[in-house]
Structure 1
Amino acid sequence: MATPRALGLPDGVRACLFDLDGVLTRTATVHMAAWKRTFDEFLRATDPALPEFSQEDYNRYVDGKPRADGVRDFLAGRGLDVPEGSAGDGPDARTVQGIATRKNELVLRELDEHGVEVYEGSVRYLRAVKEAGLATAVVTASANGEQVVAAGGFADLIDTRVDGVVAAREGLRGKPAPDTFLAGARALGVQPHEAVVFEDALAGVAAGRAGGFAFVVGVDRVGQADELASSGADVVVPDLDRLLGDGS
């Protein structure tokens, strides 16, 4: 049986907590496209002179965060004050909740039409983690975590899941607060110093560092290795299988 060190992790690690979008699945690109369409439509209707939503905006304001938090942070970054609205607001409502609803509808449509792509190297690493006897959790801000894990075909490799639905039910703050990762560790029966966080988002890496976890792995999918390291990643890799001791 492989040891944590063979997985590129410190000795004494008992559990691995994986973000979903951008770490195990390619759905980060789907989310980026949905956010861009949602925000660009809103910005054009508000003031055509406002700059369009960019990859930098995605990385800075919304990646890894609960939808409504991402909406608030991005709009604040553009100097816009938009009513909060209510959770039942439809996708055409010019409110924080309405914008969040519009974005989610676009994501669900894309997933329904095209399914879920996985990062084969990361799923290979996840399988090696399970074979090594370590506990596993998916920790994601997405309210669609259950569907994405099932569609990705690796539900049998995940012991527990803390997603947007769980966070809302339990009143957990979103990343960069460490609440959801700490909840994942509790669900697996381990202490933070016995667990590793795997994240591609700056907010997620910051959450892992704030939670006092043994090790934080940054996954660089969009050319932000330096920013991931600055946010608290102990190591940054382009895909998780780079951590495997056999180098394959």
Structure 2
Amino acid sequence: MKIHAEALLFDNDGTLVSSLESVHRCWSRWAEEYGIAAEDFARVELHGRPAVEIIAELLPADRTAGALARIEQLEVDDVPGGVELLPGTKELLASLPAGRWAVVTSATRPLAEARLREAGIEAPVVIAADDITRGKPDPEPYLLAAAKLGVDPAACVVFEDAPAGLAAGRAAGMATVALTTTHDPSELVADVVVPDLSAVSAQATDGGVTVVAVGGPSA
């Protein structure tokens, strides 16, 4: 599939990098520290969601601030050695013109920047949980990224591995490319589904970027 776009917007964890083992390790420790029952913790979806939303499902509101600071510290401390580039990330990002892409993550800014730095990624724009009032699947994060880049949302392509992120991209009126790095293809609704970014190439044009994604439409 070939898509002409003015900007490419990437989720981070599960799309550009993988830190799933670190996430599980840190949240498991956090849950133990806060006395969260194992069965309650097991019911909560961790991937692709802002920490504050996860915490709200597990703790009363008066404990949110301290709990949020604690999980952020645990995850930032665990970044060294806990982040790895996913296939195709380095090559694709190196082919993109400056100012034509952004990272849109559900992580807080200190954590997002720590993970990107560990992976050697220098993003021109980063939208983090601190920048928004409504997280994915709400379109706000992706609409904000488009605004920061000065691009019409309809001229953007979103790259995501999680259903909530893909829903956010669709709600923003953007083309979507799903990666099957963390979810089964049957769970992903997108214009095209690929294994990872090694199946994607991009070429700069006068008006933006032409993206070629070798995959198929979602079911």
For the aligned pair, the TM-score class normalised by the smaller chain equals 0.7 to 0.9
Tell me what 1:19 maps to: 11
Tell me what 1:71 maps to: 55
Tell me what 1:205 maps to: 166
> Are positions 1:218 and 2:178 aligned together?
yes
Q: Which runs of 4+ in 1 moved over 6 A?
A: none
SS in 2 for 1:51: helix
1:64, 1:141 within 8 Å by CA — same for their partners in 2? yes
Q: Which has the larger radius of gyration?
A: 1
What amino acid sits opposite 1:145 in the alignment? A
- Report the Cα distance in structure 2 between the residues aligned to 1:177 and 1:39, rounded to whole angstroms: 26
1:62, 1:71 within 8 Å by CA — same for their partners in 2? no
- Say what the alpha-carbon RMSD is for the aligned residues: 2.5
CA distance 1:179–1:127, change in 2 (3 Å)? same
Tell me what 1:238 maps to: 195
> Are positions 1:31 and 2:50 aligned together?
no
CA distance 1:159–1:66, change in 2 (3 Å)? same
1:11-57 deviation line (CA, Å, top 9, x unaligned)? 3x110000111111112332233223323554xx455xx52644xx4
Deviation of 1:134 (Å): 7.3
SS in 2 for 1:159: coil
Deviation of 1:183 (Å): 0.5
What amino acid sits opposite 1:111 in the alignment? V
> Are positions 1:161 and 2:126 aligned together?
yes
- Which structure has more strand as a fraction of its residues? 2
Q: 2:100 aligns with which of 135, 139, 153?
A: 135
Q: TM-score when scaled to structure 1?
A: 0.72
Deviation of 1:236 (Å): 1.9
Equivalenced residue count is 202
CA distance 1:198–1:151, change in 2 (3 Å)? same
- Report the Cα distance in structure 2 between the residues aligned to 1:152 and 1:110, rounded to whole angstroms: 13
1:57-95 deviation line (CA, Å, top 9, x unaligned)? 46xx3322221112224x3xxxxxx3212xxxxxxxxx2
